[in-house]
Chain A
Amino acid sequence: MTISTPAATSAPNGARRRPGFHFPTGKVSFYGFCSLSYIFLLSPLVVVVGASLHRGTRYTVVKFPPEDLSLYWYTQIPDAHWEALTLSFGLAFMASMLACVVGIPAALGLVRSNIPLKGLFSSIFRAPLQIPSIVTGVAFLQMYYLFGDLTGLYVNGTFAGLLLGHLFVGIPYVVGTVGAVLQRFDTRLEEAAQSLGAGRITTFRRVTLPVIMPGVYAGGLYAFMVSFGDVPISIFLSAPGFVTFPVELFYGMENDFNPSVLASSTLVILFSLGLLLLMQRIVGLENLLRSGGGS
């Protein structure tokens, strides 16, 4: 093809761009699509938050948009919700911490070592994600009964029992994200540290761990969120009077719905949002320092 002169560009075959106004079809459809996606993702949250602000009466159904703005239902959050929230928070915190303690060495082993059957070990660490949670819940309960029958120590309905179940589904997230960061990790950094006199432990503490920290934060956050929002496992492993927040909500909705549920849900949404923003700040900053440093 020959290079056309400016005059030739406006000739019939190249006439798609005429001078004057062009409707920006591409841009409009792009932003339109993005907006629809956001609306889809955010509208349930907006409804919950909005409806929680509607005063109404005890037996009002969800009312959106709220007509009678008030924080009334926030004062009506039952004690059981606060207790369940405390339990859920403690549980999610412990589960995500322990998931990191177990997941980081596991990821190191899976990425770095040349053990035989590495693929099999990787799959085992991914397996909890592939089992439906409800099955995991039933399996853990059965296991606890068996264990209890053997030893007389029944952990179902205890904090430890819940923690183990939540750890089980949390670990794969940490192994996944830390593993992904380790794949890209420049091992020369460790060699450099060693050549400067740092032993294995110091090298891990001063170089490896800080560099893979974004992966740890991300994985830990996932583990936290999965634990915090879990119903199917917790419903089997909790006991009457000892339930996690989502399970408490679930029971509450089944038996006696009232808008205080919306109020405590809103608090959880705000808390999660804050946590996400905090992580974004930490991980985002770390990423900024990472990029270019090793390249």
Chain B
Amino acid sequence: MSRVKLERVVKHYGNVVALRELDLEIQEGEFLTLLGPSGCGKTTTLRLVAGFIEPTQGTIYLGNDDVTYVPPQKREIGMVFQDYALFPHMTIEDNIGFGLKERRVGREEIRHRVGELLDLIHLPGVQDRYPAELSGGQAQRVAVARAVAYAPRVLLMDEPLGALDLKLREAMQIELRRIQQELKITTVYVTHDQGEAMNMSDRIVVMNLGLIEQTGSAEDIYNNPRTKFVADFIGSINFLPAKIVGDDGEWSVAETVGAKVKVPKSGASSSSGEVAIALRPERLELVVNGGDGMNVVPGTISNKIFNGNLMRVFVDVGAREPVVIELPPADVHGETGDSVSVGWAPQNGQVLME
């Protein structure tokens, strides 16, 4: 049974369409991330599930209950905000115990439960402090403890790590994922950070302009992006403009920047119009001679950037932008200005509609 279900949900703000028509199911215990640029509708979706806003059309279910017009306080949800939203005038214990008190849980039991939750978030002993006395990371963990204190039906998180610095953010990703798995709580997470989405999620929903572009596991979306938007949004990628010119049985044949290359067969590879070949930088090679069975495109090295464990090589192949290749520094032969060839195995190039 799915925990959360949105059916044909549409949301307009005046003349602005925030969600076109959204169908989404979230399974019991699943960590689902809504990923996309600002204005894509991800936060709107989360706030619809929370009940802070009502949809223009469509139905929202929590479990078997239609909650479309149920106010948030009756939905049994837990919500974590980007700026923590801890109650500044209450101690940590009163913050975490807020939902329990609303549910008429006794004082002793609240004390006990708060202690357990502080152990869970690895922050024991802060019961009597005030939110202003905590660091950002600590405050956000307390916010999570507050949201899960009474075992809500779903945990909703709106860019919870957005206010933290990079190092702390990465540690918190692991921490949040651990808490989620320990509690086995159904979670909907909103972020615009693709790294964050990939680190934490069971499933990622990539959104753009109020529509779902693609849904799948991190691996699935990274390896098989269905649209140029998804390919571009998840990880870094090169696009070569191409046109399908033939078929050699196993592969489709495309012409790009003056060379004929083999590409996997797909919906897009049977199109006769303009397409793009999507190439991940780490799956490209600098080919010195031959490169048997590989697709090869000639070019000139225009720049090299040393990144520690990786060298990024920019090769001008005559497309609008140089092709970026990521290689272990030891594998890079050639200097800026040298003529080289960029090679890749045919299955690593993906044809996407322009």
* A residues apposed to B, CB below 8 Å: 186, 188-189, 191-199, 202, 206-207, 210-211, 213, 286, 288-295
Q: Is B250 an interface residue when CB atoms closer than 8 A count as contact? A: no
Q: Can you pick out 27 interface pairs between chain A and chain B where the beta carbons lie within 8 Å of each other?
A: A188-B81, A191-B50, A191-B81, A192-B87, A193-B87, A193-B98, A194-B51, A195-B50, A195-B72, A195-B78, A196-B78, A196-B98, A196-B150, A198-B73, A198-B102, A199-B71, A210-B87, A210-B89, A211-B87, A211-B88, A289-B130, A289-B132, A290-B89, A290-B132, A291-B132, A293-B86, A294-B88
Smallest CB separation, A189 vs chain B (Å): 5
The reply to whether B72 and A191 contact each other, CB–CB distance below 8 Å, is: yes
Assembly CA distance A188 to B85 (angstroms): 6
Smallest CB separation, B139 vs chain A (Å): 9
Give the residue name and chain of the B residue nearest to A187 (CB). Answer: B85
Number of A-B contacts (CB under 8 A): 91
Given known contacts A289-B132, A292-B131, A199 and B89 CB-to-CB distance under 8 angstroms: no
Assembly CA distance A289 to B87 (angstroms): 10
Residues of B within 8 A of A286 (CB): 89
Mark interface residues in B42-64 (1 if CB within 8 Å of A CB, else 0). 00000000111000000000000
Residues of A within 8 A of B85 (CB): 186, 188-189, 191-192, 294
Smallest CB separation, A127 vs chain B (Å): 33
The reply to whether A289 and B89 contact each other, CB–CB distance below 8 Å, is: yes
Q: Is B112 an interface residue when CB atoms closer than 8 A count as contact? A: no
For chain B, residues 197 to 220, give those with C-beta under 8 angstroms from any C-beta of chain A.
none
Assembly CA distance A60 to B158 (angstroms): 74
Q: Is B320 an interface residue when CB atoms closer than 8 A count as contact? A: no
The reply to whether A195 and B77 contact each other, CB–CB distance below 8 Å, is: yes
Contacts A191-B52, A195-B72, A293-B86 supplied; 17 other A-B pairs, CB < 8 Å: A186-B85, A188-B83, A189-B87, A192-B85, A192-B86, A194-B72, A195-B73, A196-B98, A196-B102, A197-B99, A199-B73, A206-B98, A211-B88, A293-B87, A293-B131, A293-B132, A294-B85
Assembly CA distance A207 to B86 (angstroms): 10
Residues of B within 8 A of A186 (CB): 83, 85
Smallest CB separation, A217 vs chain B (Å): 13
Give the residue name and chain of the B residue nearest to A209 (CB). Answer: B89
The reply to whether A195 and B79 contact each other, CB–CB distance below 8 Å, is: yes
**Among B51, B130, B150, contact of A293 (Cβ-Cβ < 8 Å):** B130
The reply to whether A191 and B131 contact each other, CB–CB distance below 8 Å, is: no
Question: Closest 9 interchain pairs by CB?
Answer: A293-B88, A196-B99, A292-B132, A195-B79, A197-B102, A188-B85, A192-B85, A194-B72, A293-B131
**Among B71, B76, B130, contact of A194 (Cβ-Cβ < 8 Å):** B71
Assembly CA distance A286 to B88 (angstroms): 9
Given known contacts A186-B85, A188-B81, A289-B89, A196 and B132 CB-to-CB distance under 8 angstroms: no
Assembly CA distance A195 to B62 (angstroms): 14
Assembly CA distance A77 to B85 (angstroms): 55
Residues of A within 8 A of B84 (CB): 294
Residues of B within 8 A of A211 (CB): 87-89
The reply to whether A197 and B131 contact each other, CB–CB distance below 8 Å, is: no
Assembly CA distance A211 to B132 (angstroms): 14
Assembly CA distance A58 to B330 (angstroms): 104
Give the residue name and chain of the B residue nearest to A193 (CB). Answer: B98
Assembly CA distance A289 to B134 (angstroms): 12
